């Protein structure tokens, strides 16, 4: 077998992600994936325990990519405030530019997540933990004043998720331009937090 040929496992993942995004979870079937991969449905079970596990790895992959992207964007920033902003803009940037991967993270609801191993679920929060740490640093350096960094981080994260998902879901009010909405909204999040938490 030529090494340049992509492994079937990878092929299945790509097809699944695409199919998932294109036609939604409900119409995603093992047989449909198999057909596109030019293989029998049962072959998928050689690489994935079941449909749920296939989705879990899909999620895991996306979360990994998201976390790495944010880390690469923010960790180089030495200044705490700069890093704080980098995390926020990085999160939104990734979501907007990687709809397939971003939607996968939030598309599958607790149904399929039911037995999602807690070990792997921790990973989901890696980029979130980064935000907590950064805020804590800001507090330690006397830049910010916030009682519960964990709470603040959760709130910010929720707000960002709202922004991204509204845009991706094309639920934006027709009165609002997409690009304008993103920029102003992110600015609102950042300034909204800083104006409250910044020590003058």
Partner DNA sequence: TTGCATTAGTTAACACTGTTAACCAGAAAT
Partner DNA sequence: ATTTCTGGTTAACAGTGTTAACTAATGCAA
Residues found near DNA in the complex (CB under 7 A): 8, 28-32, 39-43, 45-46, 50-52
Q: Which does 152 bind (CB under 5 to 8 A by kind): DNA, its own copies, none?
A: its own copies
Residue identified by tokens 């992600």 is 17
**Minimum distance between the CB of residue 103 and DNA, rounded to whole angstroms?**
18
Q: Which does 19 bind (CB under 5 to 8 A by kind): DNA, its own copies, none?
A: none
Q: Which does 50 bind (CB under 5 to 8 A by kind): DNA, its own copies, none?
A: DNA
How many residues form the binding site for its own copies (CB under 8 A)? 39
Interface stretch with its own copies, choices 35-43, 92-100, 135-143, 149-157 (CB under 8 A): 149-157
Residues 6+ apart with CB under 8 A from 166: 172, 181
| Binding of its own copies by 185 (CB under 8 A) | yes
Rounded to whole angstroms, what are the CA distances from 49 to 42, 43, 175?
11, 11, 47
Q: Which does 189 bind (CB under 5 to 8 A by kind): DNA, its own copies, none?
A: its own copies
Among 79, 169, 179, 199, binds its own copies (CB under 8 A): 169
| Binding of its own copies by 188 (CB under 8 A) | yes
**Minimum distance between the CB of residue 146 and its own copies, rounded to whole angstroms?**
9
Among 1, 6, 78, 158, binds its own copies (CB under 8 A): 158
HEC string of the chain equals CCCCCCCHHHHHHHHHHHHHHHHCCCCCCHHHHHHHCCCCHHHHHHCCCCHHHHHHHHHHHHHHHHHHHHHHHHCCCCCHHHHHHHHHHHHHHHHHHCHHHHHHHHHCCHHHHCCCCHHHHHHCCHHHHHHHHHHHHHHHCCCECCCCHHHHHHHHHHHHHHHHHHHHCCCCCCCCCHHHHHHHHHHHHHHHHHHHHECC
Which residues are at the interface with its own copies (CB under 8 A)? 24-27, 107, 109-112, 114, 147-148, 150-152, 154-155, 157-159, 161-163, 165-166, 169, 173, 175-176, 181, 184-185, 188-189, 191-193, 195-196
């Amino acid at each position: 077998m030529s090494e340049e040929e992509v492994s079937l496992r990878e092929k299945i993942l790509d097809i699944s992600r695409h199919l998932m995004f294109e036609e939604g979870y409900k119409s995603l079937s093992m047989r449909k994936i198999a057909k596109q991969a030019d293989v029998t449905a049962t072959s998928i079970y050689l690489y994935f325990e079941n449909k749920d596990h296939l989705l879990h790895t899909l999620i895991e992959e996306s979360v990994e990519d998201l976390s790495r992207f944010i880390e690469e964007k923010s960790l180089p920033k030495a200044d705490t405030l700069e890093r704080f902003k980098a995390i926020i803009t990085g999160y939104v940037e990734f979501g907007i530019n990687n709809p397939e991967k971003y939607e996968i993270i939030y598309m599958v609801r607790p149904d399929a997540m039911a037995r999602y191993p807690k070990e792997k679920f921790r990973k989901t929060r890696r980029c979130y933990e980064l935000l907590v740490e950064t805020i804590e640093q800001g507090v330690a350096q006397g830049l910010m004043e916030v009682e519960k960094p964990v709470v603040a981080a959760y709130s910010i994260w929720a707000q960002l998720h709202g922004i991204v998902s509204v845009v991706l879901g094309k639920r934006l009010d027709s009165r609002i331009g997409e690009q304008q909405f993103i920029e102003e909204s992110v600015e609102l999040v950042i300034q909204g937090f800083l104006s409250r938490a910044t020590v003058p």
